Amino acid sequence: MSVAFDYELKHRGPDWGGLHQYGDSFLTHQRLAIIDPASGDQPLYNEDKTIVVTVNGEIYNHEMLRKQLSTHKFRTGSDCEVIAHLYEEHEENFVNMLDGLFSFVLLDTRDNSFLVARDAIGITPLYIGWGLDGSVWISSEMKGLNDDCEHFECFPPGHLYSSKTGELKRWYNPVWYSELIPSVPYDPLVLRKAFEDAVVKRLMTDVPFGVLLSGGLDSSLVASVTARHLAGTKAAKQWGTQLHSFCVGLEGSPDLKAAREVANYLGTVHHEFHFTVQDGIDAIEDVIYHIETYDVTSIRASTPMFLMSRKIKSLGVKMVLSGEGSDEILGGYLYFHKAPNKEEFHRETCRKIKALHQYDCLRANKATSAWGLEARVPFLDKEFINIAMSIDPEWKMIKPDEGRIEKWILRKAFDDEKNPYLPKHILYRQKEQFSDGVGYSWIDGLKTHAEAHVTHKMMLNAQHIYPHNTPTTKEGYYYRMIFERFFPQNSARLTVPGGPSIACSTAKAIEWDAQWSKNLDPSGRAALGVHVSAYEAQAPASLVAKNKMLRNMVEVADPALIIMS
């Protein structure tokens, strides 16, 4: 058996490279040094080097685990070295003890066996492949498997693979995973503390860092909590107590304006990056190569993040905190307005969390890692998820007549009159899809560009050219052409979630309200009337007129539901 992390993925770890070979097993690693840059090069070992491990990730509770391993001698200050010693003590049963984001391969030279594991939610990417010669391959990105594997697939989150059995086994199995309806009463202070703890533990760093700040609820709370707790951390002693924040958008976009206001309120050193629609279009091929998907919403949102990450890295920053995961856990997407009951609401949040590794986690990790930048996501902290998903979903339900908009329980938890975290209008800012928030003309520009490259005749043959996940729009077809050029293997196309090129939430949205079927665009515009004023203030006059015409033509059972094209 052979197992390797591909050493060609240098963009993910530009700081150092390492290789360990034992028999026909090879472990390679490209390092992005965040903790212990001086001595934490990988692979990492136990005392006698019989256990070898390569890790992509951060173990936030490594200091506590080191204390439990007091009889062991550590070679480095790396947070990931605990994995080798934990295996000595507990074999494969230690994985649930790890608090952090990680993918790792561990080689036990005593019996030439190996173990592979991925974090609970799939924040870090991981793929597994098989060669015709009987070899097994592991890589952080599937481009590392292209040439060597007859078949490869996404390594599932919360699982481990042991060469002793040749089988995958789920190690992460929380109560919420079974989708049983929880009944714990909502306590705003418990939820607040869980999130603050999640943010604080992610301030573990030996290099400069910052926060991504779009001005929406999630990123603003991440920035606010970080700013409050930064002063007492090791990072503050090294890099100062003033937080750096970063935002990207088209000139005049909603996010730029809102982020600027939040940054001023929090007193951050704010960095505002502008891009044009043409800048984004020019980057599309690079984006698809790096994020390894043809999913329309992922590409739309990844492109501004990809451009911003390059700018951030140029400033010497190597780690950022980001707000992914909140909408899935708390039901923040606009179609949750149509959830018929708390049972349906809860099951949909469970489904969304389980799919995060194919969407937002994939986007956030790969769009930043393309430039050697690490993204940490406190909303996807294991303990925060456990607490948030144990709350009776009746509290999460969106009830406008009671003043409860999406993610009300999070907003209420941080609505502190005496010591406010954010201005009220930011705390209660309504949902804006990232690809829209960076500027409403971004998506329109992408569609126009695709129109020029995909003909009507090409669309007529789409089902024959791409029988799997057949694209239904010219934009989807355009992305698919690029993807297939980089990743022509059948294994590659199968790693992208099923269905036509629309958001994975669409099927559930249509089930809850048939009006959603009138719009196949995955943008947040196919949504509720909460965005009407914002969109019409920014969008071109022709689109505003078209939208008003549609509202007059379409019979809408609920007057709040608007179809936007």
212 assigned binding-site residue: yes
Would you say how long the chain is, in residues?
565
Find all residues with CB under 8 Å of 470, minimum gap 6, and list them: 462, 463, 500
Largest Cα–Cα distance of the chain, in whole Å? 75
Q: How far apart are the first and last CA of the chain?
A: 52
CB neighbour class for 132 (10 Å; exposed up to 12, middle 13-18, buried from 19): exposed
The number of helices, as runs of H, and strands, as runs of E, in the chain is 23, 16
Alpha-helical (H) ranges within 34-164 are 62-68, 82-90
* Residue 446 one-letter amino acid: L
In the block, which residue shows the tokens 């998506």?
443
Residue 480 has which token pair? 């698919």
- Residues whose CB is less than 8 angstroms from the CB of residue 52 and which lie 6 or more positions away in sequence, other chains included: 20, 22, 27, 43, 44, 45, 84, 106, 107, 109
Sequence-distant (6+) residues with CB within 8 A of 501 are: 294, 295, 296, 469, 471, 472, 473, 475, 476, 477, 479, 480, 522
Where do the H-state alpha helices sit in 292-358? 296-314, 326-330, 342-354
- Distance between CA atoms of 515 and 502, rounded to whole angstroms? 15
Angle between helices 296-314 and 277-291 (to 10 degrees): 100
Please return the burial class of 537, using the count of CB atoms within 10 Å of its CB with bins 0-12, 13-18 and 19+.
exposed
Separation between Cα atoms, residue 480 and residue 469, nearest integer Å: 10
Could you give the angle at which helices 474-486 and 441-453 cross, rounded to 10 degrees? 70
Amino acid code (one letter) for 117: A
The span from the CA of 528 to the CA of 259, in Å, is 23
To which H or E segment does residue 375 belong?
A: strand 374-376
- For residue 281, give every residue at least 6 positions away whose Cβ sits within 8 Å of its Cβ, in sequence order, or none: 445, 446, 449
Tokens matching residue 40: 């934490």
Does 79 show up as a binding residue in the annotation?
A: yes
Of the candidates 382, 329, 385, the one whose C-alpha atom is nearest the C-alpha of residue 352 is 329
**Crossing angle, helix 474-486 and helix 277-291, to 10 degrees?**
50
Rounded Cα gap, residues 489 and 470, in angstroms: 16
Q: Is 323 labeled as ligand-binding? A: yes
* Residues forming a β-bridge with 399: 404
Binding site annotation covers 533?
no
User: Which residues lie closer than 8 Å to 499 by C-beta, 6 or more apart?
Assistant: 469, 506, 507
Name the DSSP letter for residue 430: P
- Detail the residues annotated as belonging to a binding site for L-glutamine: 79
- Detail the residues annotated as belonging to a binding site for ATP: 212, 248, 322-323
- Detail the residues annotated as belonging to a binding site: 79, 212, 248, 322-323
